[in-house]
Chains A and B, each alone.
Chain A
Amino acid sequence: MRPLSLSGRLRWMIVVVLVAVLLPLGLYSYWRTLKETHELLDGRLAQSARTLDVLIQRAGIDPLRKPGQGLLVVPIIGRQAEEQLMHGRTYETEVGYQVFDLQQRLRLTTANFARLPLPLTPTSGFENYDFEGYGWRVFTLIDDAGGVMIRMGERDDSRRDITHAMWLDLGLPTLLGLPILALLVGWAVKRGLLPLQRLTEALASRAPGSRQPIQLERAPQELQPVVGALNAQLERLEDALERERRFSADVAHELRTPLSSTMIHLDNAVATQILPDTRVALSSAQAGLARLARRIEQLLALARLEAGVAAGQRQAVDLVTIAMNVIDDLAPLLGEGGVEFAFIEHDDHLRLLGYEAALAALLRNLIENAMHHVPSGGQVQLSMHRTGTTIVIDVVDNGPGIPAERRASVFARFHREASSSGDGYGLGLSIVQRAAELHGASIALLDSPLGKGLLVRVSIPVMEKAST
């Protein structure tokens, strides 16, 4: 389902509100117009009848009937011809009239009324007739004093023409205006929601993980609390992360300093003339201290990955340079142990957007783990290359490996393989896993191509723009 669009919703609601108000108003005004027009036309009809009556009263009814002639028939010009003759006179309608004397004898009629039947009991007032295919509105005026009855009628369709013309004059501009109104509403909504659009753009253009406050020029009243709340949240996050960074740096300092003095004091003690028993005890203490130191380093690294590194922004780094630095740091382990280490098959540079410290921790722990698990005379090989949009890091050893069915469980934190001597190498894998997660990378444990042992493969997706 498509997410709700605020501007679409607003547009629809405005249109619905407009229609809800304008439609009844329009219908009411149409109805009122019809009614008024009707009354107006009725009035005109009655007035015409009275005017005719006055004229007949002045002249008398007799002159209407010429000697030798039965009935005076007034010809009516056809409506179409009349329209051609008097162009544009919309409100002139086809009328007809009859004049009777009090004996109800027809004295005068228009041609179109010649065959209009007389009602049985004529009364004054308005009536509707259907006559020769047309509807008529007829006004009957009975002037007892003058001895005259006048019937004056108007064709309904003529009257309808008038109301149609009026409706067209009123309705057409509105109908034409509606699409323009809709367009303008759309424009207004879009324009009105511009600050929201700007906020969206400001948020979208931020670097992932950025905690810079959101800057929005001329933020409208409604958005100010939103921007304010977001910035306050960012500030709190920044504070919390800063506190965590400082805490983890303090913890590192507080742990490493006494560890250092203990380590050097022990070294000093071993270097003196001592009894063999004491030497054994001191060696055990040294070994224990080394394990403690390593464990602490790993926990610190993990804490940094959880807080510090995640808080920072990804930067353009070169994985080969990071690997070389890690290898330099591990020189004593790599060059002086009985295990042959090789950094094979890598491009000159493997650039990506990432966290240097996390990638260094990942490589360091992968190499240390492999070196630790391979017996003297064995091999460990590191290789890295880019295929498409993925950088693949392979660490291969020919140690005992991990049986396929147990590979899934080794990523649990503090998990230790049964064969491990318990130097916190499970923790090392947790570091690898967390560092991989930070980069959206996947880890696979596979069979080593060296015949036996393990291949740890880390696949890091890289953004296209970081490549060269």
Chain B
Amino acid sequence: MHIILVEDDLPLGTAIQHALEKLSYAVTWLRDGREALAALRDQTADLVLLDLGLPNKDGLEVLAEARRAHVNTPVIVMTARDALEARVRGLDAGADDYLVKPFHVEELSARIRSLTRRAQGLAANRIDVGVLSLDIGTSEAEFRGKRIELTRREFSLLRILMERAGRIVRREHLENSLYGLDNSVGSSALEVQIHALRRKLSFDAIRTIRGVGYMIPRDPT
């Protein structure tokens, strides 16, 4: 998989390039905003890691221009600015995700996987999160090497949670995805599905954030 890294800081660029190569990604490292825009337009990359403070052209401008040119490559914005600003302005400009510096390699790879999981999953018909994997073709899961049969609802639920592993998925989002606007479904229906999944996997494989939603950790046990 090919990742374009745009970062003007030499030590940080070196570190990230090194980390990504160890994770078996092909990395092209650019240090300039204009070069970055040209590379984005070529659409050769599967994902772009874009620093915001760039010489010649600001990262947000690069991103906005690329999006205007209908470049749909997933972009993760990296910023040394504040989280709030990054969220509001980065996502407005068309970023798929953002990382506030400093961050760990683990965090970076999780974000990359999260963004490419869907695309890769469609290609490979398979989503992997640690020791948990989901076969989209057969609707079967595999947990710690054990094959698990899933109902249609359980499969949909697990797929959403796995595509966003490490993130909290809001309860309302899950309910809408699973039951649509069907009002006849009681509020406990989702709990029943979660309970069933936990029995087939493990209790800790799915975490409850009461009042917010559910999540599958990046490294489920």
Report which of A257, A264, A340 forms a contact with B104, defined as CB distance below 8 A: A264
Judged by a CB distance under 8 angstroms, whether B14 is at the interface is: yes
Contact A256 B210, beta carbon cutoff 8 Å: no
Q: Which residue of A lies closest to B99 (CB)?
A: A260
- Contacting pair B207 A335 (CB below 8 A): yes
Interface string of B60-104 (1 = CB under 8 A from A): 000000000000000000001111100100000000000011111
A445 at interface, CB cutoff 8 A: no
Query: B105 and A259: CB pair below 8 A?
Result: no
Minimum C-beta distance from B199 to chain A (A): 19
B192 part of interface (Cβ distance < 8 Å): no
Option from B12, B83, B215, B217 in Cβ contact (under 8 Å) with A260? B12
Cβ of A329 within 8 Å of any chain B Cβ, yes or no, is yes
**Is there contact, CB below 8 Å, between A327 and B16?**
no
Whether B152 is near chain A, meaning CB under 8 Å from some CB there, is no
Q: Is B153 an interface residue (CB 8 A)?
A: no
CB–CB A325/B210 < 8 A? no
Q: Is B211 an interface residue (CB 8 A)?
A: yes
Q: Quick check: A343 and B15 within 8 Å, CB to CB?
A: no
User: Would you call B149 an interface residue if the criterion is a C-beta within 8 Å of the partner chain's C-beta atoms?
Assistant: no
How far in angstroms is the closest Cβ of chain A from B201?
15
**B80 near A253: Cβ-Cβ < 8 Å:** yes
User: Size range of the interface on B?
Assistant: 35 or more
| C-alpha spacing A265/B102, complex, angstroms | 12
Question: Smallest distance from the beta carbon of B207 to chain A beta carbons, Å?
Answer: 4
Q: Does any Cβ of A come within 8 Å of B11's Cβ?
A: yes
Chain A residue numbers with a CB within 8 Å of B16 are: 264
Which residues does chain A contribute within 8 Å of B211, judged by CB atoms?
342-346, 382
Q: Can you list, as one digit per residue, whether each of B199-221 has a CB less than 8 Å from chain A (1) or not (0)?
A: 00000000111111001011100
- Interface residues in B155-193 by Cβ distance below 8 A to A read 166-168, 170
> A261: which B residues are within 8 A, CB to CB?
9, 11-12, 14-15
Are A342 and B84 closer than 8 Å at their CB atoms?
no
On chain B, the residues within 8 Å of A331 by CB distance are 166-168, 209, 215
Q: Is the Cβ of A260 less than 8 Å from the Cβ of B210? A: no
Q: Does A217 contact B (CB under 8 A)?
A: no
Which A residue sits closest to B13, measured CB to CB? A261
Q: Does B106 contact A (CB under 8 A)?
A: yes
How does the 8 Å CB contact mask read for A250-294 relative to B, with 1 for contact and 0 for none?
001100111111111101100100000000000000000000010
- Contact: A327 with B168, CB < 8 Å? yes
Q: Convert A338-354 into 0s and 1s, putting 1 for each residue whose CB lies closer than 8 angstroms to a CB of B.
A: 00111111100000000
Measured CA separation A259–B168 after assembly (Å): 27
- Residues 231 to 260 of chain A near chain B (Cβ within 8 Å): 249, 252-253, 256-260
The answer to whether the Cβ of A437 comes within 8 Å of any Cβ in the partner chain is: no
Given the contacts A260-B103, A336-B217, A253 and B15 also touching, CB distance less than 8 Å: no
What are the residues of chain B within 8 A of A346 when measuring CB–CB?
A: 211
Q: Are B168 and A260 in contact (CB under 8 A)?
A: no
A252's partner among B15, B80, B219 (CB-CB below 8 A) is: B80
- Is B84 in contact with A357, judged by CB distance below 8 angstroms? yes
Instruction: Tell me, in angstroms, the Cα distance from A340 to B53 when the chains sit together.
Output: 38
Q: How far is the CA of A265 from the CA of B81 in the complex (A)?
A: 21
Residue of B nearest to A345 (CB): B211
Q: How far is the CB of B205 from chain A (nearest CB, A)?
A: 12
Residues of chain A lying within 8 A (CB to CB) of residue B146: none
| Residues on A with beta carbons closer than 8 Å to the beta carbon of B219 | 336
Q: Which of A262, A325, A334, A336 has the most CB of B within 10 A?
A: A336
* B residues in contact with A340, CB < 8 Å: 208, 210
Q: Does A395 make an interface contact (CB < 8 A)?
A: no
Q: Kindly list chain B residues whose C-beta atoms are within 8 Å of the C-beta of A265.
A: 11, 15, 18
Residues of A within 8 A of B209 (CB): 327, 331, 334-335, 341-343
A256 to B78, CA, bound (A): 11
Report chain B residues within 8 Å CB of A267.
19, 104-106
Is the CB of A373 closer than 8 A to any CB of chain B?
Answer: no
Contact (Cβ within 8 A) B217 A335:
yes
* Beta-carbon contact of A257 and B12 below 8 Å: yes
CB-contact partner of A264 in B19, B210, B218, under 8 A: B19
Partner of A344, one of B18, B100, B102, B210: B210
Contact with A along B103-116 (1 / 0, CB 8 A): 11111100000000
Question: Quick check: A260 and B212 within 8 Å, CB to CB?
Answer: no
Query: Which A78-124 residues have a C-beta within 8 angstroms of B?
Result: none
| Given the contacts A263-B102, A329-B83, A268 and B210 also touching, CB distance less than 8 Å | no
Q: A324 an interface residue at 8 Å Cβ cutoff?
A: yes
The answer for the CA separation of A345 and B15 in the assembled complex, in Å, is 44
Q: Does A332 contact B (CB under 8 A)?
A: yes
Taking the closest CB of chain A, its distance from the CB of B106, in whole angstroms, is 7
In the complex the two chains form, is B167's CB within 8 Å of A257's CB? no
Q: Which residues of A contact B212 (CB under 8 A)?
A: 324, 327, 343
Cα of A267 to Cα of B22 in the assembled complex, Å: 11
> Which A residues lie within 8 Å of B22 (CB)?
268, 271
The answer to whether B105 and A336 touch across the interface, beta carbons within 8 angstroms, is no
- Tell me the minimal C-beta distance from A335 to chain B in angstroms: 4
List the B side residues contacting A253 at CB < 8 Å: 53, 80-81
**A281-312 to B contact mask, C-beta < 8 Å, 1/0:** 00000000000010000001000100000000
Which of B11, B102, B108, B170 is close to A256, meaning CB atoms less than 8 Å apart?
B102
By a CB distance below 8 angstroms, the chain B residues around A344 are: 210-211
* Interfacial chain B residues near A300, Cβ < 8 Å: 82
Across the interface, name the chain B residue whose C-beta is closest to A252: B80
Would you call A252 and B19 a contact (CB within 8 A)?
no
Report how far A180 CA is from B210 CA in the complex, Å. 76
B82 touches A263 (CB 8 A): no
Asked if A458 is at the interface of the complex by the 8 Å CB criterion, the answer is no
Q: Which of A258, A331, A382 has the most CB of B within 10 A?
A: A331
Q: Judging by beta carbons under 8 Å apart, are B82 and A342 in contact?
A: no
List 18 A-B pairs, Cβ < 8 Å.
Answer: A252-B82, A253-B53, A257-B80, A260-B102, A261-B14, A264-B102, A264-B104, A265-B15, A267-B19, A267-B105, A267-B106, A268-B19, A327-B212, A332-B218, A334-B168, A335-B209, A342-B209, A343-B212
Top 3 nearest A-B pairs by Cβ distance? A342-B210, A343-B211, A264-B15
Apart from A327-B168, A342-B209, list 7 A-B contacts with CB within 8 A: A253-B80, A258-B11, A260-B9, A263-B102, A264-B12, A264-B104, A268-B19
